[in-house]
Amino acid sequence: MSNYKPTIGLEVHVELKTRTKMFCDCINDPDEKKPNTNVCPICLGHPGTLPFPNKKAIESIIKIGLALNGKPNDKFHFDRKNYFYPDLPKAYQISQAGEPIILGGTLRNIKINHIHLEEDAGKLIHDDVSGGTLVDFNRASVPLMELVTEPDIHTPEDAIAFMKDLQLIVRYLGVSDADLERGQMRADANISISETDELGTRAEIKNLNSFRSVFGAINYEIKRQAELLEKGEKIKQETRGWDDLRQKTISQRSKEESQDYRYFPEPDIPHFSIDAFDVERIKTEIPELPEAKLKRFEKEYNLSTDQARFLVEEIELAEYFEEAVSELQMINEKASISTLYNYLTSDLRGLMNQSGINLSDAVNDISSLKVTPQNLAYLAYQVDSNNITSRQAKDILKKMFETGSSAREIIENEKIGISDSSEIEAVVMAVIAENYVAVADYKKGKTASLQFLIGKAMGILKGRARPDELKEIFERNLNQF
């Protein structure tokens, strides 16, 4: 099997985050719990209705294309894609076949063929009680991006990496949440294998709605096709589905070609010129993208690649970090950013996870997150300046998280700080005097005894001393015995 070279192309669908649907004024909310609420005669395909394109959706596609180094097409139009399925009320889908909005582009050195805009279908809901199938048209005509790659992918890992990078980019652009669990992002994978550089007969795996299913389907299909060729059998060009329960692809139908859909230009929508859209303005709306932000974080904040990536992969976390760093540098330009990073990504994030708080929700509604970037920066500075210990800081942060009090208020009201050297020295001498067995063990070379003594002192001081300072004082005094 190792002699076969897999070739993979992806068709990635992403629902766009517009206020209204693609061709009508219905609210774009496919997650509406009450079925068939956000519907009208246009998105239900009633005779005599006329679609009118959503300009914001078209601009979103242009923005995505520019971010991916694509070229806006000088002219583009919509087409009718004709097929029958219960979730398609018109018996055709308004899509793009001949002239898409974006041509070309690259991501992770994978070439993009084009990006086009279409409308989503409704949602079929299978009722286990009645055994019937219901249709919810709240999702019908929601704006849907389709990005088609060239067959430049050769492993399931690369396919996943491509999709994750694309997901992050559309989130940074603000055009979609691209949440796979909510059906906002899904993919079809075209897979073939060959012993030469020529493409083999491909199978298309439809509607992969998780990274796990993308990986599993591609991996299984490569093995399935290799086994067929090993047995001297031919691979059929077909459409297959992914059975997540059995972890295998299942044949669904022979692969359709474009002629099977009888594409023709949508007669009710005029053709467009790119001049009708302010491309230069759209360019200025593109923010710093993930890859550029990652490199800047490495250079500007002296973070490792893994540290920078951890922040960049969550927009709200990166924004919170930068605001906190700005506050920290206003307090003291030489303060340690690494201390702040650790309290944000480890301690504060841990408290949030325990409480089930999502940072994106907390930032959108700042009252949900009671620890502000300013207060976290002040806390990190107090640790970095040796005014409080790490243990004290963790306790303070927990109180900040629970009450919304500032670090300054808690420190001043509770008179928290590191004890002076004379108090620490007195506690050390008392611990030595009261624990002669541990002292004797230490003198015999048992280093664990020193940690025991330090722990005793920390308990008495209630965290008001740094462990490294206690260690130095204990060693100095113990060596005198």
DSSP calls for 238-272: EEEEEETTTTEEEEEEEPP-GGGGT-EE-TTS--E
> Which of 248, 70, 73 shows the shortest CA–CA distance to 149?
70
Q: Where are the domains of the chain?
A: 5-283, 290-413, 421-478
Give the pLDDT score at 466.
Answer: 72
Contact between 207 and 146 under an 8 Å Cβ cutoff? The reply is no
Averaged pLDDT for residues 448-463? 82
Report whether pLDDT(463) > 70.
Answer: no
pLDDT tens for residues 43-99?
999 999 999 999 999 999 999 999 999 999 999 999 999 999 999 999 999 999 989
Tokens of 105: 């582009």
Mean pLDDT of the chain: 91
Token pair of 430, please? 């008392």
Residue 402, pLDDT > 80, answer: yes
pLDDT of residue 360: 65
Q: How far is CA 89 from the centre of its chain?
A: 33
CB 7 within 8 A of CB 191: yes
Q: What is the pLDDT of residues 83-120, one digit of tens each?
A: 999 999 999 999 999 899 999 999 999 999 999 999 99
The three-class DSSP label of residue 5 is strand
Q: What percent of the chain has pLDDT over 70?
A: 95
The pTM for the full model equals 0.84
Q: Where are the alpha helices (DSSP H) in 99-189?
A: 156-173
DSSP 175-217: S----GGGTSEEEEEEEEEESSSS----EEEEEE-SHHHHHHH
pLDDT digits (tens, 9 = 90+) for 351-371: 998 888 776 665 555 457 899
317 three-class SS: helix
Share of the chain above pLDDT 90, in %: 72
Tell me if the domain spanning 421-478 has CATH number 3.40.50.150.
no
Calpha distance 185→64 (Å, rounded): 15
Tell me which residue of 146, 135, 119, 97 sits closest to 42, measured CA to CA.
Answer: 119
Contact indicator for 129, 79 with CB cutoff of 8 Å: no
pLDDT tens-place string over residues 302-314: 999 999 999 999 9
DSSP state of 345: I
How far is the C-alpha of 241 from the C-alpha of 365, rounded, in Å?
Answer: 40
pLDDT of residue 422 exceeding 90, the answer is no
Task: Report residue 454's pLDDT band, with 50, 70 and 90 as the boundaries.
Answer: confident
Is the pLDDT assigned to residue 259 strictly greater than 90?
no
**447 vs 332: which has the higher pLDDT:** 332
More confident residue, 69 or 258: 69
